[in-house]
Amino acid sequence: MISKSVIKKLTHILGEKNILTKKEDLFLYSHDATYQEFMPDVVVFPKDAREISKILRLANEELFPVIPRGAGSGMSGGALAVRGGLVMAMSRLNRILLIDEDNLIAKVEPGVITAHLQSEVEKLGLFYPPDPASLDVSTIGGNVAECAGGPRALKYGVTRDYVLGLTVVLPTGEILDIGVETAKGVVGYDLARLIVGSEGTLAIVTGITLRLIPKPEVKKTMLVIFPDMLYAAQCVSRIIKEKIVPATIEFMDSLSVECVRDQLPLELPEGELTILLIEVDGNSVQIDKDIRKIENICRQMGITGLRLARDKKEAEDLWKARRNLSPSLQKIKPHKINQDVVVPRSRLAEFVTTLSDIGQRYNLSIPSFGHAGDGNIHINIMLNRDNNDEVERADQALKEIMKLVVDLKGTISGEHGVGISKKPYIGMEISATGLELMSRIKKAFDPNGILNPGKIF
């Protein structure tokens, strides 16, 4: 509980209109996309690194938790005040400071919305590829903290691959520039890379220098319909074996397809279907060649149908349906346990077959979709949390799925991070020695454990 005298000191640092203490206001900052609820004691809106530094110094004196927050779209509970304390909303640090066409970099504050940065750089013929499905709401700061990635990771990589440098405020209050503004740089330990994906537990990011690349000339989107997931998974392996790297290869299994069938801009055949959404980009000569090759491969794989988007609008509608998939799953059951596991691409077929067996054995609906091209699968165990028996079965099924992922040499999170959701499983993947080293790193950054406590470990 943060005392009245501390609130007074915070008000002095931030000004009265940049601090919330009323219960009804705090409630708005008590959730993220996990739909769990933890009430903070106070929410603050700092304007810059100096104010953040003062708040962190106060937190070390008074020993209260500080939880950085972007848009609250996180899927692992990272922005939740699990031990109460102060939620630090980054919404006032929302400026694009520079887009440098000579050096192909952008400098932004952490509260910039991902899609906004993308559209601004694209106006100049440049490209910032990381594309989480939440890009219309998520912030670049949240993307950095979670090392967000999206469908385009197959060809272009994830947030980590675009972060060159960061300005951070350490939990003890020091303001620090780390990383570089150049394409190369190997001086000292790569602290910027350590902060990327650290889930707001090591430092608060207040400035980000990002690498940009030229925008691909053209892109084309294709929807391919398969009778089942096995055929689709084999097709993905064939495409990659032919040395074609599409910008994205997304899949939706039959349960997922049913949830967005009415949102797709085309009539689908009746019955169970698996869909691949494939996008290729580059120069027009190359992509026409790639499209022809992919079409040939798909047609040899026993597909039910194939459609090349006729124009930009149709391609956008296909992507819209894909992005709406996560919330649309509520048509099956009101709640879900969502995990974003990754398996080696070559083991995708094995994974989805076993997943279906697990679903049947536990009598659970487990729709899956995701980035087939890089083996990143969003599994969704659908349930009603009021049904204790179903919750118990879902927990058992989840344990089995996590074990399966690790046995297949995969990883238990490709995008969403550990937060609080994956804490029980981290030991399945990281050895005791690895975990011990990580907690020593945490201690070196944050000796009093005030920054985002209760996460990851």
Ligand X SMILES: Cc1cc2nc3c(=O)[nH]c(=O)nc-3n(C[C@H](O)[C@H](O)[C@H](O)COP(=O)(O)OP(=O)(O)OC[C@H]3O[C@@H](n4cnc5c(N)ncnc54)[C@H](O)[C@@H]3O)c2cc1C
Residue whose CB is less far from ligand X, 30 or 286: 30
We find the least distance from the C-beta atom of residue 213 to ligand X, in angstroms, to be 19
Q: Which of 326, 356, 368, 380 binds ligand X (CB under 6 A)?
A: 326
Q: Which of 10, 13, 14, 33 binds ligand X (CB under 6 A)?
A: 33
Q: Which of 13, 49, 133, 166 binds ligand X (CB under 6 A)?
A: 133
416 counts as binding ligand X under rule CB under 6 A: yes
Alpha-carbon gap, residue 35 to 30, rounded angstroms: 9
270 φ/ψ angles, rounded to the nearest 5 degrees: -65, 165
Q: Residue holding tokens 């201690």?
A: 443
Binding mask 93-132 for ligand X (x = CB under 6 A): -----------------x---------------------x
69 counts as binding ligand X under rule CB under 6 A: yes
- The secondary structure of residue 267, as a DSSP letter, is P
Choose one: 141-149, 301-309, 343-351, 395-403; the region binding ligand X (CB under 6 A). 141-149
Alpha-carbon gap, residue 419 to 455, rounded angstroms: 5
367 closest CA partner among 380, 353, 377: 380
Choose one: 12-20, 61-69, 254-262, 380-388; the region binding ligand X (CB under 6 A). 61-69
Q: Which of 13, 49, 71, 244 binds ligand X (CB under 6 A)?
A: 71
We find the least distance from the C-beta atom of residue 305 to ligand X, in angstroms, to be 26
Determine contact, residues 351/235, Cβ cutoff 8 Å. no
- Both structure tokens of 113: 């919305």
247 counts as binding ligand X under rule CB under 6 A: no
367 counts as binding ligand X under rule CB under 6 A: no
Q: Which of 55, 415, 430, 453 binds ligand X (CB under 6 A)?
A: 415
Query: b/e for 248-267, b at 16 or more Cβ within 10 A?
Result: bbbbbbbbbbbbbeeebbee
87 counts as binding ligand X under rule CB under 6 A: no
Alpha-carbon gap, residue 230 to 236, rounded angstroms: 10
Residue 293: how many other CB atoms lie within 10 Å:
15
Determine contact, residues 152/248, Cβ cutoff 8 Å. yes
274 counts as binding ligand X under rule CB under 6 A: no
67 counts as binding ligand X under rule CB under 6 A: yes
Alpha-carbon gap, residue 32 to 90, rounded angstroms: 15
Q: How many binding residues for ligand X (CB under 6 A)?
A: 36
246 counts as binding ligand X under rule CB under 6 A: no
We find the least distance from the C-beta atom of residue 435 to ligand X, in angstroms, to be 18
Determine contact, residues 321/264, Cβ cutoff 8 Å. yes
Alpha-carbon gap, residue 273 to 3, rounded angstroms: 57
Determine contact, residues 239/292, Cβ cutoff 8 Å. no
| Ranges within 144-163 binding ligand X (CB under 6 A) | 145-146, 148-150
Q: Which residues in this chain contact ligand X in the complex, by CB under 6 A?
A: 32-33, 67-75, 78-79, 90, 110, 132-134, 138-139, 141-143, 145-146, 148-150, 199-200, 204-205, 326, 415-416, 452
